[in-house]
Amino acid sequence: MPLYVTINEPNWSRSPADIVVFRVVRAIVLSVAIVVAIGRSRHAGALLAALIFAMIAAAEGFPPAGWLATLRHLPLVLAIPVAIASASWLLIPVAWCCLAAMFPRAVFRQKRLWAIVLAPCVVFVPPIVMSAVALVAAPVGLTMAPPFVYWQAAEKFGSAFGAIPSIFLNWWPPHGQERHMSLLGPWAIVTVIWLIVGAALMMQGALRVTEEPERRRVRQLTFGLSIVVGLGILHELLRAWSGMFGVDPPALVWTINYALQAVGFSVLAMLIGYVILTSTRSTLT
């Protein structure tokens, strides 16, 4: 028996203010990605930075309501790439590590080291693609755990990463909580390690910079990344507020936190875009 649903109000009008702000920020980040990719189309480092911006702009911890239903009305050649793009944020640490190995100065050139950096793609890209195809093309046959059902093991990831990518890492078919965690656990470990390694590689590359213009750009980039770290610490403190004080943080504090994050990430995206666009050819090749 068919089920008919009437939407009385557009989803956008029902969204909280902080969600609307972050959607605007995503548009800004995506615009920076396009500008960087066009402005430095011949430079691998710039294209990697643009790729990271695009991943951030399209990222979803899990598909929002109605998202997959809309994709199923599109041709598969469009719907599946959209689904893959929304899950590509799972591989941001790999792209970040590659960028850090190139910018501001190339740290290593051995193919063996590049193979290690790119190794997570061999593990995680196939299930991500398989998940996207399954979600768009064969939803009836799925036996995946519901994306909004939290179990104890996965709650730890939600508290650390803010969202549980529960439907983008799965073996299909069949899929269960144990098999899902067998991929989600290694993904979390790789994420933390590759982010730290990327930061170390960028610092090592920065130490090789001797020209004053490049040193200034490195300082600008460091300042922007410091903003992100500070905003991340503030967000985690607010998430732990209830446990520390026994009450939820005031709504105004959350509003200020979201506003600071929106402004901070927008400034960071534009700052990194400026640094890359004004860098010399030798820095980004």
- Mean pLDDT value of segment 35-57: 85
pLDDT recorded at residue 173:
56
76-91 pLDDT tens trace:
888 889 888 888 888 9
H or E stretch at 90: none
Range in 62-76, 99-113, 166-180 the model is least confident about:
166-180
Domain segments of the chain as ranges: 18-43+211-238+248-285, 59-208
* DSSP SS3 for 149: coil
Cβ atoms of 117 and 217 within 8 Å: the answer is: no
12-43 pLDDT tens trace:
566 666 667 777 888 888 888 898 888 888 88
pLDDT recorded at residue 14:
62
Q: Residue 145 and residue 125: Cα distance in Å, rounded?
A: 20
pLDDT recorded at residue 10:
58
| pLDDT above 80: residue 242 | no
| pLDDT above 50: residue 2 | yes
Q: Residue 30 and residue 148: Cα distance in Å, rounded?
A: 27
Averaged confidence pLDDT in the chain: 76
Q: Specify which of 36-45, 99-108, 155-164 reaches the highest per-range mean pLDDT.
A: 36-45
The residues near 230 (Cβ < 8 Å, ≥ 6 apart) are: 264
- For residue 228, which amino acid is it? V
Q: Is the peptide bond before 186 cis (omega within 30 degrees of 0)?
A: no
Q: How many CB atoms lie within 10 A of CB 9?
A: 7
Cα–Cα nearest to 49, from 273, 271, 200 = 273
Cα–Cα nearest to 218, from 196, 203, 201 = 203
For residue 119, name the pLDDT band (cuts at 50, 70, 90): very high
Cβ atoms of 168 and 68 within 8 Å: the answer is: no
Q: Residue 62 and residue 166: Cα distance in Å, rounded?
A: 7
Q: Residue 166 and residue 61: Cα distance in Å, rounded?
A: 8
Which ranges in the chain belong to alpha helices (H)? Answer: 11-14, 17-39, 44-58, 67-71, 76-87, 92-102, 111-137, 152-161, 177-207, 212-239, 241-245, 251-277, 281-284
